[in-house]
Amino acid sequence: MTDRLAIIAGAGRLPVALAQANPDAYVVSFRGMPTDVAGAQDYMFERLGELFTDLAQNGVSSVVMAGAMSRPQLDPAAMDEFTAALAPDLLTHMKQGDDGLLRFVVGMFEDQGIKVRGAAEVLSDLTLEVGNGLGDVPPSFAQDLAKADDLLRTLASSDVGQGVVVEQGQVLGIETLQGTNALLKFVADTPDGLRRSGGIFVKRPKQGQDLRVDMPAIGPETIEHVARAKLDAIVISPLAVIVIDKTRVFERAEELGIALVVRDPQ
């Protein structure tokens, strides 16, 4: 088989959806990084030469990366010749932010003649266009949205943050390495005496982010966490945030009274 797609599968629902939509794909997982995709071929990160050899032998010409993955703890003694040659540059990029590391990984695949594709390119209908959300941000939240967007722009230069929560002028939390759910749990645990009323969660890609390998995502669990945090709305960027299990997301948002707003940054 030629022109075959490979899925580098991490944890979560997205790689499962991609595998179901592409049953002939060659699915790869890395040892120590769990995935829910059945039948994934398990590789050691220290033996990338074996991975690229197998991808070529299986006719793979493009790859999509999806799901949560941790940074590997590399064992130099286990490295094959290919990985050992890359190790100095790889280790340097692993000490940087996600953007720098992901750009290195993308270049590694492209150097092997493998095209890197985004999940939204491989599986249609993963994102939303302007006006295709549920409800809108009340006019009283206009200043909060402007503040959130300004903060996200400022944080982008430090390779930090895809999400921020603002409530009547107060910044209640910023998304960092721990992710969206940890941010929203932190907000939910904030004592009522420090809160005002309502609030919005804004989720957008960082400026300059490579959306092929690191597009932000929300799902039904996000809606649940937003409701527990006593927020009124989620704002996402059009065509730049993956909405996993879209039908369930809309159902829970409507049931819980959460607006899902699709709007460009201000």
pLDDT surpasses 90 at 198: no
pLDDT surpasses 70 at 29: yes
Check whether residue 116 and residue 186 sit in a common domain. no
Most confidently modeled of 40-49, 155-164, 208-217? Answer: 40-49
Tell me the backbone φ, ψ of residue 111, rounded to 5 degrees.
Answer: -65, -25
Query: Which range of residues forms the domain containing residue 240?
Result: 139-262
Residue pLDDT, tens place only, 158-196: 877 789 999 999 999 999 888 899 999 999 999 887 887
DSSP label at 77?
Answer: G
Check whether residue 104 and residue 147 sit in a common domain. no
Kindly report the CATH number assigned to the domain that includes residue 118.
3.40.50.20
* Residue 130: inside a domain: no
pTM of the predicted structure, to 2 decimals: 0.85
40 beta partners: none
Check whether residue 143 and residue 245 sit in a common domain. yes
Domain boundary among 122, 157, 176: 122
Domain boundary among 95, 122, 149: 122
The CB density around residue 208, as the number of other CB atoms within 10 Å, is 10
Q: Which residue has the higher pLDDT, 135 or 51?
A: 51
Check whether residue 235 and residue 145 sit in a common domain. yes
Kindly report the CATH number assigned to the domain that includes residue 176.
3.40.140.80
Check whether residue 168 and residue 256 sit in a common domain. yes
Total domains, the chain: 2
Check whether residue 143 and residue 255 sit in a common domain. yes
Residue pLDDT, tens place only, 66-120: 988 888 888 999 999 999 999 898 888 877 766 778 888 899 999 999 999 999 9
* Residue 131: inside a domain: no
* Residue 83: inside a domain: yes
CB proximity list for 121: less than 8 A, separation 6 or greater: 64, 212
Q: In the predicted model, what is the mean pLDDT of residues 126-139?
A: 88
Q: In the predicted model, what is the mean pLDDT of residues 197-219?
A: 88
Check whether residue 103 and residue 145 sit in a common domain. no
Q: What do you get for the CA distance between the two ends of the chain, in Å?
A: 47
* Residue 41: inside a domain: yes
* Residue 99: inside a domain: yes
Q: What integer best gives the mean pLDDT of the chain?
A: 91
Whole-number Å distance between alpha carbons of 90 and 84: 9
* Residue 133: inside a domain: no
Check whether residue 158 and residue 232 sit in a common domain. yes
What was the pLDDT predicted at 178?
85
